[in-house]
Amino acid sequence: MTLHSQLGPGAEFDLIRTFRSNLPDHPDVLVGIGDDAAVLRGGWVVSIDASVEDVHFRRSWLNAEEIGYRAATVALSDLAAMAASPVALFVSLHLTAQDYARGPEIMTGIARAALAQDAAVAGGDTTRTSGPLAIDVAVLGRSDRPVLRSGARAGDDIWVTGRLGGAAAAVQTWHAQHQVSAAARAAFAQPHARVREALWLARQLELHALIDLSDGLASDAAHMAAASDVLIRLQADQLPIHDAARRSDDPVHLALTGGDDYELCFACAAGSVETVRADFERTFGLPLTRIGRAAAGTGVQIVAADGHPLTGEWRGYDHFGVTS
């Protein structure tokens, strides 16, 4: 029987909910639609991720190599989110006739992302398109013990790696047609798939639930909350905010709703992470921050330092939502 996690709110997820119940299963599929990746018998972990021009990036923001690098990295991040080791990428390039000459540059970026995680590029398809440049990357990895999003328990602490809101700060600045700082640009153009970090954490700790931050912390925490059937309460004053986001009008909002950080968010028994935190930060040069706690209930609540809930629209990017 294949496990399908509960999904969080959003029109894209409504669509998935609509058709998921009618999709066929296979006995070799242990975890199906609803987590960051599927788990197949034998320890294989598999996902597919799209990068589409003017949806996930703009041409004016990235060069061709970065477009490829980023497309592969966001797919690899889904393996990090399962604590799986990448093995192979399969790449479908949709190129306009004018983009044909940029194919090798895009593939160079994809190869760089794969190489950074010791993964192969093992297959692909190349299609001419009249529309936006698009790249689909399917990733395969292995894990003896994949970590799902569904295991958070009331009382768990919620942690994140790295700093949040940097990529969103870059996007906000580009939209405002202001000059984007090198640090903000790098946060968007050169994200890291936190694979080594996830494997390290999974070795050191009993991770109850793990997800990567692609849609924005508030949205992704809502997925973890829905899958785990808990309430996740996040402390706005504890968020590790990227320097570029700190300089924005509303750093907390960017950190909560800005997607594209590709950091890890995980749930662990209260008090268990503190013992390895310094070692993690030294090993990876990356902060590890407790940002909240799971409790009985449903959904996500954002609270101020005094414990009072913040109000606001905390949803991240929703491809088909009325708000985005």
Q: What residues line the site for its own copies (CB under 8 A)?
A: 2, 11-12, 15-16, 18-19, 22-26, 28-29, 32-33, 37-38, 40, 42, 44, 46-50, 52, 54-56, 87-88, 90-92, 94, 97, 100, 103-104, 107-108, 111, 114-115, 118-132, 134, 136, 138, 140, 142, 319-320
CB of 256 to its own copies, least distance (A): 22
Helix, strand, or coil (residue 128): strand
CB of 198 to its own copies, least distance (A): 18
| Residue whose CB is less far from its own copies, 90 or 262 | 90
Cβ pair 62, 56 in contact under 8 A: no
Query: Measured between alpha carbons, how far is residue 287 from residues 52, 188, 202, 204, 232 in Å?
Result: 31, 18, 17, 16, 21
Helix (H) or strand (E) holding 48: strand 44-52
Token match 């990733």: residue? 139
CB of 18 to its own copies, least distance (A): 5
Cβ pair 199, 89 in contact under 8 A: no
Instruction: Kindly provide the b/e burial profile for residues 200-230, where b requires at least 16 CB atoms within 10 angstroms of the residue's own CB.
Output: bbbeebebbbbbbbbbbbbbbbbbbbbbbbb
CB of 214 to its own copies, least distance (A): 10
| Residue whose CB is less far from its own copies, 72 or 83 | 72
CB of 243 to its own copies, least distance (A): 30
| Residue whose CB is less far from its own copies, 28 or 206 | 28
| Residue whose CB is less far from its own copies, 16 or 199 | 16
CB of 56 to its own copies, least distance (A): 8
| Residue whose CB is less far from its own copies, 45 or 294 | 45
Residue type, 36: D
Q: What is the DSSP letter of 84?
A: -
Helices (H), the chain: 11-20, 64-80, 103-116, 166-175, 182-189, 195-204, 217-228, 243-246, 251-257, 274-284
| Residue whose CB is less far from its own copies, 103 or 312 | 103
